[in-house]
Amino acid sequence: MLGDITLSGIIIIIGVLLVSMSVHEAMHAFVGLKLGDDTAAEQGRVSLNPLKHIDPLMTVVLPAITLILFHAPILAAKPVPFNPERVKYGEYGAALIAAAGPLANLLLAVIAVIITRLVGVDVLNSSGLGASIAYTFITLNIALFVFNLIPIPPLDGSRVLYAFAPEPVQRIMMQLEPFGLFIIFALILTPAIQLGAIISNLNLAILKFLL
């Protein structure tokens, strides 16, 4: 997704991921609070401080490995807790909380595109530091939007699907959740399924639309 990765590129990626991840997780917590559940707020998760959201394994080790293997970071932050009994609208409220994170990433990408156009930066054809940061910011936030909406537990898309799925499907999703990330990696690495290619094509399509 990000092509050849240099040391400066890695630094930019880490910085962008920390910002984007923090906004993503804070929006989960913020929407939960607005829907009547202060569980995440009481743990300080309505915050843009990355330290509130970092999980050592999933936020640090996992993206380092996937950067090497796939030239694209795959990561997960510390899960934002919520109490379904406190959330308004039941499963639909839980779906709103889940969707808030990916939609925040899409909004960040849109805002970044607008800013680059206002200041006259061509992120596709410029080679300067500013253009590189802007391109990485836009690309990674699109990637976070697309990846997190995959409807496989524990990704956000699964919670959205769960709210509208019939009960038998919900039971299957609950059983799959402990193995979700392994399933996602297996699907990405299985040539016949081409999930990685599908994700890349969706990322590219959204990037082309925005730019």
Does residue 25 have an active-site annotation?
yes
Burial code of 41-52, b = ≥16 C-beta within 10 A, e = fewer? eeeebbbeebeb
Neighbours of 55 (CB within 10 A): 14
**In residues, how long is the chain?**
211
Say how far apart CA 55 and CA 22 lie, in whole Å. 12
Say how far apart CA 169 and CA 165 lie, in whole Å. 6
Q: Which residue among 25, 85, 91, 167 is the active-site one?
A: 25
Q: Which residues are catalytic?
A: 25
